[in-house]
Amino acid sequence: MGNKILYTLLLFLGIEHLNAQFASVDITFDDRLLRSDEKQEIFALREDINRFFISTVWDEIYDDLDIALHIQIIFESAQSKGNVKTFNCQALFSNGSDLRYFDKSVQFYYNSGTSLYFDPVLFEPLPGFLAYYAYLILAGEIDTYEFNGGNSAHEIAREIALRGAASEYKKGWGSRITLVDDLSRNVGLRKARLAWYIAIDLIKDGDMDGALTELKLLLDGLEQSYDDVGRDHNTQYFLKVKSESIAYTLAQLGRREMLKDMQELDPDRRDVYQDALDLISK
């Protein structure tokens, strides 16, 4: 009987792992501002966070994304209220590519003896905070597979933020509502990111005409982003990460006019596109 229970448990864990959206979670802590006893209290937190992201099935449809998640948490202080120890932090979440979110106002309590679990109805500061960024990253990844595919994940993140803003631990949740709203309404960036990733796949498949069509949509999306929301931080970060690849790709396709358009759309990296133009001239 015991072997059957063990087998069932292993089977369940195996299936759960296969359906997990996050393939790996790289977590770093900066706890230099905490006292020795406070550091001891969060000793198990890193592993708890890792387990939380890996073992949770965040989306039933996109179950094979294999996202490499990077998290940095900077602990600023801790305070006790009764038997509850509350930690104040800053945090950074990234997919290691063009999705990167910095949070400068984080507050949560943590008990190492209990498992982290995200309840979509009952709000808890730490699981809610982690789940919020899980869904933001997930939304950004799904957006690269279908237009506005991340809408559902954005909406869940927004619901978490609204519950957080109405809780006793409301610190930072107003800004998180604004963030998810900004990401959702930046339709131009969402179009541009989708077009870029499709273009890369088409180039790998040797479909240069199809890739060129998508690259034109990339430029259209960037222009729409500027028209709709101005110099949005998230659009700027996408360009910072991808500008060299975009420039090189357009140069390889001999697209001088598109490179000149990118100089207008992305003036902070004008030299990057000029270098690509020079490659065509040689």
Taking the C-alpha atoms of residue 89 and residue 12, their distance in angstroms, rounded to an integer, is 34
Taking the C-alpha atoms of residue 270 and residue 282, their distance in angstroms, rounded to an integer, is 19
Taking the whole predicted model, whether its pTM rises above 0.75 is answered as: yes
The pLDDT score that the predictor gives to residue 4 is 30
The pLDDT score that the predictor gives to residue 83 is 82
Q: How far apart are the first and last CA of the chain?
A: 74
Q: Where are the domains of the chain?
A: 2-185, 196-281
Q: How far is CA 8 from CA 3, 13, 54, 90, in A?
A: 9, 9, 19, 40
The pLDDT score that the predictor gives to residue 19 is 54
φ/ψ (deg, to 5) at 88: -110, 130
E strand intervals along 61-220: 67-81, 84-94, 100-109
pLDDT tens string, the chain, 282 residues long: the values are 333 333 233 333 333 444 569 999 999 999 999 999 999 999 999 999 999 999 999 998 998 899 999 999 999 999 997 788 999 999 999 999 999 999 999 999 998 888 899 999 999 999 999 999 999 999 999 999 999 999 999 999 999 999 999 999 999 999 999 999 999 999 999 999 999 999 999 999 999 999 999 999 999 999 999 999 999 999 999 999 999 999 999 999 999 999 999 999 999 999 999 999 999 976
The pLDDT score that the predictor gives to residue 63 is 85
The pLDDT score that the predictor gives to residue 209 is 97
The pLDDT score that the predictor gives to residue 98 is 98
C-beta of residue 114 within 8 angstroms of C-beta of residue 149: no
